[in-house]
Structures are given as structure tokens and as C-alpha cells.
Amino acid sequence: MNSSRTWPWWTSGAFALLVILTCTLLPALAITFEAGNIDWQQLFNNSYTQRVIWFSLKQATLSTILSLAIALPVALALSHKPNIPGRSFIVNVFSLSLVIPTIVAIFGIVAVFGRTGWFNNLLGTLSIPSVPLYGLTGILVAHVFFNMPLAARVLLVNLEGIPAENWRLTKQLGLKPVSVFRFIEWPAVRGQLPSLALLIFTLCFTSFAIVMTLGGGPRATTIEVAIYQALRFDFDIKLAVALGAVQLSICIFLMLLSTLVKHNDALQFNPYSVVAGTERNRHDQHLLNSIWSGLFWQAAHYTIIVATAIFILSPLLALVISAINSKLIAVVMQTSTLDALFNTVIVALASASLSLLLGIGLLNSVRHLRIRLKYETAGQWLQLSGNVILVLPPLVLGTGLFLLLRPYADVFSIALVLVVIINSLMALPFVLRILDGPVMQSANHNDKLIQSLGIQGLSRWIIIDWPQLRKPIGLAMAVSTTLSAGDLSAIALFGSERVRTLPLLLYQRMGSYRLEEAAVTAGLLLILCLVLFISIQKIIGRSVHSAHS
Amino acid sequence: MLTVEGVELQLGERRWNYSIELETQGVYALLGRSGSGKSTLLNLIAGFLQPDAGAIKWQGDAIHSLEPAQRPITTLFQDHNLFSHLSVFKNIGLGVSPKLTLSSAQKNNISSVLDSVGLSGYENKLPGSLSGGEKQRVALARCILRRQPILLLDEPFSALDATTRKEMITLLNSLIQEFKPCVVMVTHDPDDAVAMGATQLSMKSDRVEFA
């Protein structure tokens, strides 16, 4: 009939794969070629390298343990107190930490926990010596700030998945809180812990902005930051490649590990899913309250929830308060600010669009492989290619692109193009994770019908997929836009006085202690990200009559 | 004549063999427990599965290498017959044009076929607001409009309550009277086969048998 004018199913996936491979393998080759022979033995005997690798592992391990150790009681307290005022607000703020740019949150954390911050002022009035933030402490505080809410949310979802009948049974059997934890709650969350630990470890291990701003000199440097320093300040490509290779092998090891724990439903949770089931009926609330009755449990629950709320909200509050200062108008009107703002919006939207194009291109072919041809494994491998950035650090990728393009163009004048490429690859795993479920689910429902009616190619996307998927597509676009808008790693490598985005401008202003200007910049970036996140979802994901039969 | 000649298919551990001849006009019911391969046969005829060997022919012409949409076949599924985000009108329209480019004559046809299944005025409704029986009737309206000589029914009544099932069977019977297609239905309930006046075929471990 009309099949002669339709592209074959693999076209979009092949195109996406080609772009991804060109943008990753060529730079990777360029960088290995440039590095030439590396004396690995000398490298590993070097005390600087040893310290950097050791510190990367140490801070990631500590961050993971701390995040999970705090997240568990927080999730338990929130689950035990389903009717506490402000609960849904706190839970929503938990997911906000996914939207707030790292560098912005760091500014808020410094304002609260820094040398002259609220926290140390409070300690000062109590005559307690202040706690220095920079170094390992600062890195841990920031990592917990970002990852604890993520973990708490996932654990809370699991705790709320415990059926109401179990609670009634618990009450009937007269189980005490400790037994409830042992026999009901711990089994419900245990399965999530390995995958969560792995995710948090990976995020902290490759964390860049936090370590760069809060890490103190060579004693508190991770591999990722060391790569940046080797490239940007020493131009020691050998060292950068060597460190990149170490980073790469550890990341691949972590990825392999994650396929092992995948049996426990690892990494399958969606951090952007809405926490459901908070609307338990009155009877169950009463029941929950009666299990943890008594002053001790009341005090414990309230303390945990209030302390968490203060920990998460105070940096945001401090940021907002410090952003409203005498320099507000002047900074907002500055050309440097406006240029950076303009660049940020352009880079963010371009990266997100490219990321979505690649993601949808991949999924279009993956869908055909998995649903229509039933080649499950082949489909999953194709999809996995979108996660390449998880093993190839953005800074290594950036270096490769730099080496590759240096003979042909002034790399710093096409900085934004390179930043867009890197940022779009960084957002791609998120795009795939958000879209994978909805795309496969709707295809599963409708594939036979679609096939029997002969709906294919572009008209399938226009008539069937777009209306069904615009909500998750809107979310994917919003997430990848804010992610790119707040990213510091790619622009730190290619940015210059001529080309800056807001995160880089903020970093520079923080670095030169122009704190009032920095505060305004941070506030501006925060508002930009929130506006982008909300408006993109509203515009793209505008809910059509979404009735899932 | 719809013929399935020595069709073989390996699915996992199981190996299926089918050979059967059905008249151009007639109603046939494939009966058997779940796992007996009746849906597999239907999927082979519809083209959702490709045979490893053998041939499927309609009036002597091989159809087994055609895309599902190119075969002279229309299918009524158990559920998911309708796209939940599209109106009744568009859901039916897709049966006529997969790109939803409809002439005004075709648009009129959609309204009159809706009328014939007792759903006049339902054009702009969304599937979510319809009952199970109404959804199946919309799907049936699309089958009618497609005017294909072979009608495959894949457990078309299992999701319906007793009254709706009866209505649906009456409706189907009058359609079969009118259009005289070759109907192949899959069901686990022999009563459905009797109510449709179908010739019963039973799935045996290695072959299809006229019961």
C-alpha cells in the first residue's frame, strides 16, 4: 500500500546510534592517540594519583553510607506519620533537589554551613568552635543534601507499598515497633538498598561541581576534578587520559555490578514518579499512630522530620534571602549576566532537543525490536548505547572533542556547540529512563491493532504516539533542559571570558568572593530552572484527554 | 477458500504444525484450553507471527508474506481495540486510512456505520467514557467499514457481561448474514460457538480437527 514511502524501522535507531558513537568513540580514540604510551607503573606509584583515587573512593563510600543511613529513618518517620502537616510539601521538596542546579545548591549550603554561615553563627553564640566546611565535610554535606532525599523518596514509595492488611495484622498480633521494623518494614525496603547504594555511589564518585567548589585543594580532589585540573591548568593530557582510564574502568565495574543486582529490581525505580498512596484512610492513620505511640516515638518522629526539613530547606531559604540584596538590580542588568542567561537558555534548550531527538530515535527502533520482533536482548543493548556517558566522563569526552576539533576550528569559539553535544549526552540516560516505560507500555497495548491497521512511520508518531506520550516527553524535555541549564562540567572546560553560562558565571563570582553578585546569579539560575521545568512540562505535556483504558 | 498448508512455527520449546481448509463463507470456532495454540493460529493468519515453513492462502493466493495491514483481514481483539486518546470517529477512521486522511464520502460512511451498530451520535466520544460493550461495538463498526472478506475474532466476548455478550452475538450474526465473510473466532467457551452457529474446530496436540 504505502510502505514504499516509509523509512525502515531501524533508520531512526541507526541515526541515533551513529551520532552517539561518532560523538563518543572518535573523541575517545583521539584522546588515547594523543596520550601515546602511558607509564602505568609510574602513574600508580605517584602519590598524587594514589591520593586522588583513594579520596574519590573514600568520599563516595562515606557519602553513600551517610545518605542511606539518614534516608532510612527519614523515610520511616514520614511513613509512620502520614497525616503530619506539611508532609507532602517536604516530599515535594525532596524531588526539587533533582531540579536545582548543583552549583546553586552549593551556594545555599555555603550560606548555611560555611564559615560565616547560619550554622556556625549559631554554634558561635553557643560558644562551640565552628566546623570548617571546605574539604571532606563540605563534600559529604553536599552529597547528602542531594542524595538523601532521592533515597528517602524511593524508600518511602516502598514503605507505602506495604498493604493496609499487613498493618491491621501487625496490630492484631500486637507487634512492637522493633518487630514491625524487622518483619514488615525492613523486608519492604531491603531489596532497594543495593541498587540505591550503587546509584548514589556512582553519582558521588563522578561528582564534579561539588568537589570542585567544596573540595579543598589537592587533599580533597576526586578523579573527575583532577582530570579537569590536568586539562585546564597543566594541560597534561597523559595524566588526564590515565585518570580518565581509571575512572572509566571503575565506572564500567559499577555498571556491571548494577546488572548483577538488577534482579532485585535495581535501578528500575523512577525517581520522578509521584509518591502515591499518601491518601490512606483515617482508620489506617489511626492504626499507624497507635503502633508508635508513646512520648519516645512521638519525639523521635517529630525530631527526624523537623531536622530533615530544616536541613533541606535552610540552604534554599538562605539562598533566596541572600539573593535579595542591594546589588540585585545592578547584577540583573549587567551585560555579563544577561549574556550568560541568554547562553544558558540556548544551550539548555538545544541540548534537551538533541537529547530528546536521540532518545526518541533510539526508542523508536528499540520498540520495534522488543515489541514487534521480540528481540528483547538486542533491543536492550541498543538502548544501553544511550547510557555511554555514564562510563565516559563528560570531561574526558570534552577533552577528546577538543583534540579532535583543534586542527579545524577555534575550539573556544564553538564552545557552546561542544557544550550542547556533551550536555545532550549527559541528559540522554535520564530521557531514556523517563520515556522507556511509557513508550514500551503503550506499544505493548496497541501494537497488534497498529499493525493490523497499517499505521506506521511518521503518521504513527503523529496520530498515536505523540498524544499518548506527550506527558512523559514533556517531563523528559523539562528534566534534560534543567539538567543542561545547571551543568558546570562541560562549560568549565570550554567556557572563557567570552563565552559563559550562568553556572560558570556563578562559579567565577563565588571563586572571587563577590558573594552578593554570586547570590543574585544563583537566585537567577534557580528561578530560570524552575520556570523552565514548569513551563516546558505545561507546554509540551499539556494534558490532553488522557484516559488510559 | 482460506487454506493453511503445512504451516510450521517454533515458539520457544513448542513446535506448532497447522493444516486446515476453510470455506470462503462460513463461521468457524477454534476451541481449546489456553496454551492449545488457537491464538497462535489466529496470529499466524493475521500476520502477527511469521511461519517458519508452509503457506497461508486466500482464494489460492499466498498471503503469508504480506504485512498484516495488507492482508484481506480485519480483526476484533478481546480488548485494546481502541486508542484511548482518539475519539470514536478517529478510531474508526483509522480503519479506512492509516494516515487519517478521509474523504467526505468516507466521513459519511463512518457515521452511517456507527448508526448500524446502534451508536449514532457517538462520533466525538472518547473510549474512556464508553462501556465495555460499546467499545466492542465501535471496534466492530471499524471491522464493517474495512470490508475485508476475512473476519478474525480473538475472544471477542470474554471481557463482556452476559447481557452485553448476547447483544454483541446478535449484532455479529446479522452482520455475517449481510456481508457473508469467512469468520474465524477463538474462544474458550463452546456456548459462544453454538450461539454464533459456528463449525467447531478443536485444537489437538499436533493438529486442528473438525469436531
The set of cell numbers assigned to A256 is 556491571
B181 DSSP 8-state letter: -
Task: Please tell me the distance from the alpha carbon of residue A385 to that of residue A362, in angstroms, as a whole number.
Answer: 9
| Percent of the residues in chain A that have a pLDDT greater than 70, as a whole number | 93
Across A364-368, A398-402, A494-498, B15-19, the highest mean pLDDT is recorded for A364-368
Q: What is the mean pLDDT of residues A210-216?
A: 87
Lowest mean pLDDT among A372-376, A473-477, B140-144: A372-376
For residue B206, pLDDT beyond 60: yes
- Give the closest of A449, A467, A545 to B80, CB-based: A449
pLDDT, tens digit (0-9, with 9 covering 90-100), for B24-51? 999 999 988 777 888 889 999 999 999 9
The pLDDT of residue B46: 92
* d(CA B200, nearest CA chain A) in Å: 25
* d(CA A437, nearest CA chain B) in Å: 18
The pLDDT of residue A548: 40
- Give the closest of A3, A448, A545 to B85, CB-based: A545
- Would you list which residues of chain A are within 8 Å, Cβ to Cβ, of chain B? 1-3, 445-446, 448-449, 451-456, 459, 463-464, 467-468, 544-549
Question: Contact A451/B83, CB-based, under 8 Å?
Answer: no
Query: Which candidate, B51, B73, B42, B52, places its Cα nearest to that of B201?
Result: B42
For residue A288, pLDDT beyond 90: no
CATH superfamily ID and name for B1-72+149-211? P-loop containing nucleotide triphosphate hydrolases (3.40.50.300)
Question: Which residues of chain A lie closer than 8 angstroms to B72, CB-CB?
Answer: none
φ, ψ of residue B185 to 5 degrees: the values are -115, 145
- Hey, how many other C-beta atoms are within 10 angstroms of the C-beta on A453? 24
**Cβ B170 vs Cβ B157: under 8 Å:** no
Please state the pTM of the whole predicted model: 0.84
Q: Which H or E run contains A248?
A: helix A237-260
Amino acid at position A245, single letter: A
Q: What is the mean pLDDT of residues B58-66?
A: 93
Question: Contact B127/A549, CB-based, under 8 Å?
Answer: yes
Band of the pLDDT at A121, cuts 50, 70, 90? confident
Query: Which candidate, A215, A223, A203, places its Cα nearest to that of A54?
Result: A223
Task: Please tell me the distance from the alpha carbon of residue A467 to that of residue A175, in angstroms, as a whole number.
Answer: 49
Question: Contact B83/A448, CB-based, under 8 Å?
Answer: no
**Cβ A312 vs Cβ A193: under 8 Å:** no
- Hey, how many other C-beta atoms are within 10 angstroms of the C-beta on B147? 12
Q: What is the mean pLDDT of residues B126-151?
A: 92
Which of A2, A449, A451, A471 has the most B C-beta neighbours within 10 Å, making it the best mutation to test the interface with B? A449
The set of cell numbers assigned to B183 is 469468520
Across A37-41, A94-98, A467-471, the highest mean pLDDT is recorded for A467-471
Question: Contact A544/B98, CB-based, under 8 Å?
Answer: no
What are the helix (H) ranges across A324-334? 328-333
Task: Please tell me the distance from the alpha carbon of residue A99 to that of residue A499, in angstroms, as a whole number.
Answer: 24
- Give the closest of A3, A452, A468 to B46, CB-based: A452
Q: Regarding predicted confidence, which is higher, A125 or A359?
A: A359
Geometric angle at alpha carbon A122, from A116 and A128, rounded to 5°:
95
Question: Contact A548/B84, CB-based, under 8 Å?
Answer: yes
**Number of A:B CB contacts under 8 A?**
80
Query: Which candidate, B103, B88, B95, places its Cα nearest to that of A453?
Result: B95
Question: Contact A459/B99, CB-based, under 8 Å?
Answer: yes
The pLDDT of residue B3: 92
Q: What is the mean pLDDT of residues A220-224?
A: 90
Domain parsing of chain B, residue ranges: 1-72+149-211, 84-147
Question: Which residues of chain A lie closer than 8 angstroms to B68, CB-CB?
Answer: 448, 451-452, 454
Q: What is the mean pLDDT of residues A240-258?
A: 85
The pLDDT of residue A281: 53
Question: Contact B73/A452, CB-based, under 8 Å?
Answer: yes
The pLDDT of residue A272: 47
Q: What is the mean pLDDT of residues A169-187?
A: 87
φ, ψ of residue B52 to 5 degrees: the values are -75, -35
Contacts of A497 by beta carbon, 8 Å cutoff, 6+ apart: none
Band of the pLDDT at B63, cuts 50, 70, 90? very high
What is the bridge-based pairing of β-strands B2-11 and B150-154? unpaired
Q: Regarding predicted confidence, which is higher, B153 or A284?
A: B153
Band of the pLDDT at A7, cuts 50, 70, 90? confident
Band of the pLDDT at A109, cuts 50, 70, 90? very high
The pLDDT of residue A147: 94
Band of the pLDDT at A4, cuts 50, 70, 90? very low
Band of the pLDDT at A275, cuts 50, 70, 90? very low
Each residue of A39-75: b (16+ CB within 10 Å) or e? Answer: eeeebeeeeebeebbebbeebbebbbebbbebbbbbb
The pLDDT of residue A283: 60
The set of cell numbers assigned to A459 is 503518521
For residue B183, pLDDT beyond 90: yes
- What is the chain A residue with the closest CA to B72? A452
Rounded alpha-carbon distances, angstroms, from residue B133 to A76, A178, B31, B79, B190:
46, 52, 23, 11, 20
Task: Please tell me the distance from the alpha carbon of residue A56 to that of residue A320, in angstroms, as a whole number.
Answer: 32
Task: Please tell me the distance from the alpha carbon of residue B139 to that of residue A97, in angstroms, as a whole number.
Answer: 46
With the CA atoms of A39, A45, A47 and A49 taken in that order, what torsion angle do they form, in degrees rounded to the nearest 10?
A: 50
* d(CA B46, nearest CA chain A) in Å: 8
Burial class (CB in 10 A: 0-12, 13-18, 19+), A512: exposed
- What is the chain B residue with the closest CA to A467? B85
Domains of chain A with bracketed CATH: 46-223+259-319 (1.10.3720.10), 329-549 (1.10.3720.10)
- What is the chain B residue with the closest CA to A445? B80
The set of cell numbers assigned to A99 is 531540579
For residue A174, pLDDT beyond 90: no
Question: Which residues of chain A lie closer than 8 angstroms to B93, CB-CB?
Answer: none
Which of A374, A448, A459 has the most B C-beta neighbours within 10 Å, making it the best mutation to test the interface with B? A448
ipTM field: 0.82
Q: What is the mean pLDDT of residues B117-127?
A: 92
Torsion sign, CA atoms B121, B69, A376, A459: negative
φ, ψ of residue B206 to 5 degrees: the values are -125, 5
- What is the chain B residue with the closest CA to A459? B99
Task: Please tell me the distance from the alpha carbon of residue A24 to that of residue A399, in angstroms, as a whole number.
Answer: 11
- What is the chain A residue with the closest CA to B143? A453
B183 DSSP 8-state letter: E
The pLDDT of residue A263: 46
The pLDDT of residue A274: 45
Band of the pLDDT at A410, cuts 50, 70, 90? confident
- Give the closest of B47, B77, B85 to A544, CB-based: B85
Question: Contact A448/B48, CB-based, under 8 Å?
Answer: yes
The set of cell numbers assigned to A128 is 562551640
Question: Contact A547/B86, CB-based, under 8 Å?
Answer: no
| Percent of the residues in chain B that have a pLDDT greater than 70, as a whole number | 99
- The mean of the pLDDT values for chain B is 90
Band of the pLDDT at A269, cuts 50, 70, 90? very low
Distance of alpha carbon A468 from its chain centroid, rounded?
A: 26
Write out A112-170 in H/E/C secondary structure. HHCCCCHHHHHHHHCCCCCCCCCCHHHHHHHHHHHHHHHHHHHHHHHHHCCCHHHHHHH
- Give the closest of B48, B98, B126 to A454, CB-based: B98
Q: What is the mean pLDDT of residues A116-139?
A: 85
Question: Contact A545/B95, CB-based, under 8 Å?
Answer: no
Question: Alpha-carbon Rg of chain A, whole angstroms?
Answer: 24
- The mean of the pLDDT values for chain A is 86
Distance of alpha carbon B100 from its chain centroid, rounded?
A: 21
Helices and strands (H and E) in chain A: how many? 26, 0
For residue A498, pLDDT beyond 90: no
pLDDT, tens digit (0-9, with 9 covering 90-100), for B84-94? 889 999 999 99
* d(CA A546, nearest CA chain B) in Å: 6
pLDDT, tens digit (0-9, with 9 covering 90-100), for A515-533? 899 999 999 999 999 999 9
